[in-house]
Structure 1
Amino acid sequence: MKFNGIRIAALLLGATIAGGPALADELKVVEIKIENHTFQPSSVEVPANTLVKLLIENLDSTPEEFESYQLNREKIISGGETGTVYVGPLDPGTYPFFGEFNPDTAQGELIVK
């Protein structure tokens, strides 16, 4: 009986893993750089109703905090490091973000279409 339970568990695990690529196809990866206290690019377009992975590389020597009230996200990224922020799935619209430590220069937007 134990052996059959192991077989069933293995089949369920295989079915779960087999569903993985379909989920991966729905993940949009976006690379953003922080340089001279600005986001580059400052405007990023992504598809609606899609999970988005933001890879934010801080090329400055000082930390920056990625923040967005509309996305309900904040993340401190040390100088020379890369941070990851997941958002979505999102409805169409424009979602501004900014650098908390340099709000006058570090401005950007996520445009969802």
Structure 2
Amino acid sequence: MPRRARSFATAFTAICLPVLCLPALGTVAAPAWAADAPTYTLTLKDHRFTPGQLSVPAGERFRITLDNQDGSVSEFESYDMKFEKIVVGGGKVTVWAGPLHPGTYKFFDDYHPDKATGTIVATAPAAKE
């Protein structure tokens, strides 16, 4: 095979092979903890979160699904939990958080931080007697 043809074949393979393999990545099983992780739902309406506070167990990963019922874009963010997601008006987004130490963690809408705020309280399990 001429050198130019080999270069083309190598470049073609390098570009196309990863693209062709992408569908297979979707068939990888999720980790066991992902199936058991609880999901908490927040609603954003009139630039306010409902509920304004969530209680979660400390030391466990969990999901938060935000249902943005406002007509405008929101930036669901938490410095404490290190996430930031854009959600369009009328859209939903899910973020992973935790595991958290016992304590209170703030979240907010970065576009309306004066109104749209809330907290997550992570509590340690009760001591067994």
TM over 0.5: yes
Alignment equivalent of 1:100, drawn from 101, 110, 115: 110
Letter in 1 for 2:72: T
Q: Which residue of 2 aligns with 1:58?
A: 68
The unaligned stretches of length 5 or more in structure 2 are 1-28, 124-129
| Matched residue, 2:35 | 24
Is the CA contact (8 Å cut-off) linking 1:54 and 1:85 kept in structure 2? yes
- Structure 1 runs of 4+ aligned residues shifted over 3 Å read none
Aligned equivalent of 1:36: 46
Query: Which structure is larger by alpha-carbon Rg, 1 or 2?
Result: 2
Q: Give 1:83 deviation, angstroms.
A: 0.5
The AA in structure 2 aligned to 1:42 is: G
Q: Secondary structure at the match of 1:24?
A: helix
Structure 1 segments unaligned to the other structure (5+ residues): 1-16
Aligned-residue CA RMSD (Å): 1.5
Residue in structure 2 matched with residue 14 of structure 1 by the alignment: none
Q: Normalising by structure 1, what TM-score?
A: 0.78
